[in-house]
Chain A
Amino acid sequence: MCLGIPGKVVKTFREHDVLMGKVDFSGVSKSVCLEHVPQVQIGQYVLVHVGFALSMIDEAEAQHVFDFLKSMDQLDELEVPSPEVVSSRVISSRDAPA
């Protein structure tokens, strides 16, 4: 139900004063609401849920797991890298905003 599919923005336009776009999913093109990713450029990827783009895909962050696996390779698989290798994604321990 919470399915989110990455797709490439190929065109943007406005409809009823809302930012819309054509998004390509490996050859299948769909009309998608882009109103909440207003900074998106043609050629960038967005995560689409029920015809609505929820976020942009961060291409650098998309690499992190493969960088991590490469670092494991470099350790010759003798030991698992320490958590510090990937700990940059720790969420600061704060409460939800009021």
Chain B
Amino acid sequence: MKFLDEYRDSEAAKQLADAIARTVTRPWVIMEVCGGQTHTIVKYGIDEILPKDIELVHGPGCPVCVTALEMIDRAHAIASRPGVIFCSFGDMLRVPGSRGDLLQLKSQGSDVRIVYSPLDAVNLAAANPEKKVVFFAIGFETTAPPNAMAVWLAKRRGLKNFSVLVSHVLVPPSMTAILQAPGNRVQGFLGPGHVCTVMGCGEYPSIARRYHVPIVITGFEPVDMLEGVLWTVRQLEAGQAIVENQYSRAVRPDGNLQSRQLIEEIFEICDRKWRGVGIIPKSGYKLRYEYRDHDAERLFEVADIETQESTECISGQILKGLKKPHDCPAFGKTCTPQSPLGATMVSSEGACAAYFAYGRHLASKAAKPNPIARESQQLVQIGGGK
């Protein structure tokens, strides 16, 4: 596929890995912010073809993972009401709340549906005027324009039976929370490419300057990520801390102005609770008062449902880059994608779930594969367009 296959080219990946190896002179810890980037790293073994001085730690950018348990319980409460069609993206419906996941509700007779797009849920409301259609509006800034468009369209079309349960989260406040956490190890960031297609890069220079961390806005394919690492390492080695845009084929410096205007029209910034982390101030979106007629939390009166998380799980420390999945005694034993204990195991983009999916629970840390052998093995897979 054009604009995908060429960024999985094994020769290009090898050249970039070699350039990184020639640039690095000492150890550096770099965090990739997005869950999609974590998935690419583990799938293609990118961390294993990097010089041993480069450690990649996995960030909080999986919205399914960080959606607070109580939001899932609120979704459960709404979906179990009669006359409701509850819709969401597929991976959200499989996340266990305190009383099972949403798909289990479906098996008990509730009308729970997977949709490809929030706009499909709007059409569902138009086609089922006797039902109340509720869409679980989760996501980072990337998903805010389509979710905002769904609300805007529903209001414009007079669909009073359409509402959204909003649990939006924002990237920059989470990066700041990581950098301020005691024991922070992160020295540079691969920034969130798709978030920046919407929001642009303007929120990041102040973070780079204040905490003296390079931030390279990076794409999601292996060649993108290796180039992002190269640019980050160059800055680190030179003592620089600026924002660069590796993903310039999709990211404009100001993002998408129309999308930003629509977000501003529909949402306002609020404090948000993150699963595994807790409340981060000003780290989410909620619906503006003018759109309260589409606010499922208000319409179904579920805002007072609160839930405590398991204390066994170390996902909060993993989300902040302080620990790796292997550091958890429960990883791959009592905690698996089928019965997750916490945030980073609940979605395929979570660090623990990605490690599990690619067999890393089977290898001990001491038995880390020889990077060179791993390189040739993985690069063939990259070239194969896996």
Contact = CB atoms under 8 A, between A and B. Distances in A.
Interface of A: 1-6, 8, 16-18, 25-26, 30, 33, 35-38, 45, 47, 49-52, 54-55, 57-59, 61-62, 64-66, 68-69, 72-73, 77, 79-80, 83, 86-87, 89-97
14 contacts: A1-B138, A2-B139, A47-B194, A49-B142, A50-B117, A50-B146, A51-B116, A55-B250, A59-B249, A62-B249, A79-B22, A90-B243, A91-B217, A95-B206
Nearest to B36: A2
Contact of B206 (A8, A58, A66, A96): A96
A96 B216 CA distance: 16
A54 B146 CA distance: 9
Contacts of A92: 205, 253
Given A58-B248, A83-B238, A16 B156 contact: yes
B338 interface: no
B36 A55 contact: no
Contacts of A8: 2
Contacts of A64: 248-249
Contacts of B149: 18, 33, 35, 52
Interface residues of B, number: 77
A64 B157 CA distance: 43
Contacts of B18: 77
A55 B256 contact: yes
Contacts of B34: 2
Contacts of B61: 2
Of B193, B242, B248, the most chain A CB neighbours within 10 A belong to B248
B267 to A, nearest CB: 15
Given A4-B220, A83-B231, 6 more contacts: A1-B139, A1-B140, A55-B256, A57-B3, A69-B12, A91-B242
A49 B64 CA distance: 15
B248 A36 contact: no
B242 A93 contact: yes
A17 B132 CA distance: 24
A45 B145 contact: no
Contacts of A97: 202
Contacts of A37: 256
B197 interface: yes
Contacts of A50: 89, 116-118, 143, 146
B143 A1 contact: yes
A36 B22 contact: no
B117 A52 contact: yes
Contacts of A87: 244
B142 A2 contact: yes
A91 B209 contact: no
B144 to A, nearest CB: 10
Contacts of B117: 33, 50-52
Given A65-B12, A77-B18, A89-B244, A95 B202 contact: yes
A34 B116 CA distance: 16
A23 to B, nearest CB: 12
B35 A1 contact: yes
Given A4-B220, A25-B1, A91-B205, A69 B16 contact: yes
Nearest to B205: A93
Given A47-B197, A57-B250, A96 B202 contact: yes
Contact of B2 (A45, A47, A66): A45
Interface in B242-286: 242-246, 248-253, 256, 258-259, 262
